[in-house]
Amino acid sequence: MSAYEQSQEQLNQWFKSFGLDGKGLSSSAKNIATLNEQLTKAALSAAEKSAEVSGNWNREVLDQMASGNDAGLSPPERAEAATRISSEIVKSSSRNMQAYAEIARELQKETMALLIDASRGEAKEASGSDQSSEAEAKTDD
């Protein structure tokens, strides 16, 4: 028996000594661990997407800067190149900020779905344990 299982058994014995059922707590702990795992997966996925957007954005900016770095350009051509680069960076910034917003929106949507599913599961378990407790109370009478 693992240390975790031993601690669970001890906790269940402690609850029984007070006339309580520790199965609900164990079940709840497992549900919380599952929810945490799902939320972590969602957050890591969003972080990965965000890092991809950031990397692409950096690459775009560096490519744009390199395109305007020609020693043979005259001052007016250099000013025109700087204006073009600035305009492209602004467009790129807008596009990438939209990508970040979409990632955040998807993560928020996924998080809410996970939380709603978890709360529904907990509510079903709670109503099931209430019904079983009521049945036990009736048989004790």
pLDDT tens column, 42-70: 999 999 999 999 999 999 999 888 887 77
Coil, helix or strand for 71?
Answer: coil
- 33 occurs within a structural domain: no
- Which structure tokens are listed for 124? 């079903």
Q: 100 near 50, Cβ under 8 Å?
A: yes
pLDDT at residue 28 in the model: 78
pLDDT of 16 > 70? The answer is yes
Question: Per residue in 68-112, pLDDT tens?
Answer: 777 788 888 888 888 999 999 999 999 999 999 999 999 999 999
- 83 occurs within a structural domain: yes
pLDDT at residue 12 in the model: 78
pLDDT at residue 131 in the model: 60
- From residue 44, alpha-carbon distances to 40, 49, 140 in Å are 6, 9, 50
- Enclosing domain of residue 88: 49-118
The number of domains in the chain is: 1
- 53 occurs within a structural domain: yes
More confident call, 111 vs 126: 111
- 44 occurs within a structural domain: no
- 134 occurs within a structural domain: no
- 131 occurs within a structural domain: no
pLDDT of 123 > 60? The answer is yes
From the CB of residue 59, how many other CB atoms can be counted at a distance below 10 Å? 10
pLDDT band at 39 (very low <50, low <70, confident <90, very high): very high
- 108 occurs within a structural domain: yes
Q: Which residue has the tokens 């109503």?
A: 127
CA distance 54 to 59: 9
